[in-house]
Structure 1
Amino acid sequence: MKSSLMTIGQVAGHFGLPAHVLRHWESVGLLSPARVEGDRRRYTRDDLFRVASIMRAKQAGLSLPDIRAFLTSTHTAARKDVLRRNHHALQARMAALRSALDLLEAGLNCSHEDITTCPNYRAHLANLVDVQDPA
């Protein structure tokens, strides 16, 4: 990547994003690229790291307000609070995805004609089916 300033189109192309996403992120306080003649945006290498941070945080499930709090906080404790909360949520999503993957693998390894009767497949669903007796 060149060390020169980049246009919004170049940054969008580099990250595979529509330019309007970068404009939106700017409007909600996540980005603040420099402006040159004609009020055109110019992005620095630091801006690219910021875009990469936003993208990775979105992949982790953070909301835009949480990403803004994370990236703009000058207080370590506040930043860590945002990260800790999202860390727990991501761990829960990962556990759910692992469970879903186990179910698919059980289905792939099943040779029963009716998969819903397969004991191995059913074992992966037991926690969803078992109902506690309210009495």
Structure 2
Amino acid sequence: MKSSPEHPWSVDEVAERFDLPTNVLRHWESVGLLRPERDAAGRRRYGEDEIVRIAIIQRSKLAGMTLEQIAVLLDDSARGRHEVLQRHLDDIDKRMLEMQRSREMTEHALRCRAHDIMACPRFRAGVSDVITGLEPSRSPIETPA
């Protein structure tokens, strides 16, 4: 994009740059996540700081954060900030564990010599925690049956 900090970006330019509909940027502004400057005609003008905020919002959303959590992340004086961020980290750790277990299960299914994966005892053991509702332990799916 040709714009520079001296010539801030329009809402359309920012939307195109981040592959977002303009109404998403307007919504983020309405909930206080963005505060673009306005030009003499009242049009939104996004400077470098707003561009960085948009990138943070996008990365945070991809990581599963809600807009409310993102607002706390971006507000260094927010009450309970550390608690909100710690809960999000705990959630990320839990999802990473589940993704790792899913990866192990898929890799096992790929290598398993059993055509019927349901007949494979190691495969079944890999989902036993889901069936029983117990906390997951280390996956028994590690070597093909």
Asked if TM exceeds 0.5, the reply is yes
- Runs of 4+ aligned structure 1 residues displaced above 6 Å come to none
Q: Distance in 1 between matches of 2:91 and 2:130?
A: 20
- Percent identity for Structure 1 against Structure 2: 37
Q: Within 5 A, what are the aligned runs for 1:2-21?
A: 2-3=4-5, 4-21=7-24
Q: Displacement, 1:57?
A: 1.2
Q: Does 1:39 align with 2:69?
A: no
Q: Displacement, 1:14?
A: 1.1
Q: Distance in 1 between matches of 2:111 and 2:53?
A: 44
Q: Displacement, 1:42?
A: 0.2
Say which of 112, 122, 126 aligns to 2:124: 122
Q: Distance in 2 between matches of 1:82 and 1:128?
A: 27
Q: Displacement, 1:17?
A: 1.1
Q: Within 5 A, what are the aligned runs for 1:54-93?
A: 54-74=57-77, 78-93=80-95
SS at match of 1:38: coil
SS at match of 2:35: coil
Higher helix share: 1
Unaligned runs of at least 5 residues, structure 2: 135-145
With structure 2 as the length reference, what TM-score do the two structures score? 0.81
CA spacing shift, 1:128–1:82, aligned 2, 3 Å: closer
Q: Displacement, 1:113?
A: 2.2
Name the aligned partner's letter for residue 111 of structure 1: R
Q: Displacement, 1:20?
A: 0.9
SS at match of 1:37: coil
CA spacing shift, 1:122–1:35, aligned 2, 3 Å: same
Name the aligned partner's letter for residue 120 of structure 1: R
Q: Distance in 2 between matches of 1:9 and 1:112?
A: 54
Aligned residues: 131
With structure 1 as the length reference, what TM-score do the two structures score? 0.86
Which residue does the alignment assign to 1:111?
A: 113
Q: Displacement, 1:94?
A: 1.0
RMSD (Å) for aligned C-alpha atoms = 2.0
Q: Displacement, 1:56?
A: 1.2
Say which of 88, 94, 103 aligns to 2:96: 94
Unaligned runs of at least 5 residues, structure 1: none
CA spacing shift, 1:81–1:103, aligned 2, 3 Å: same
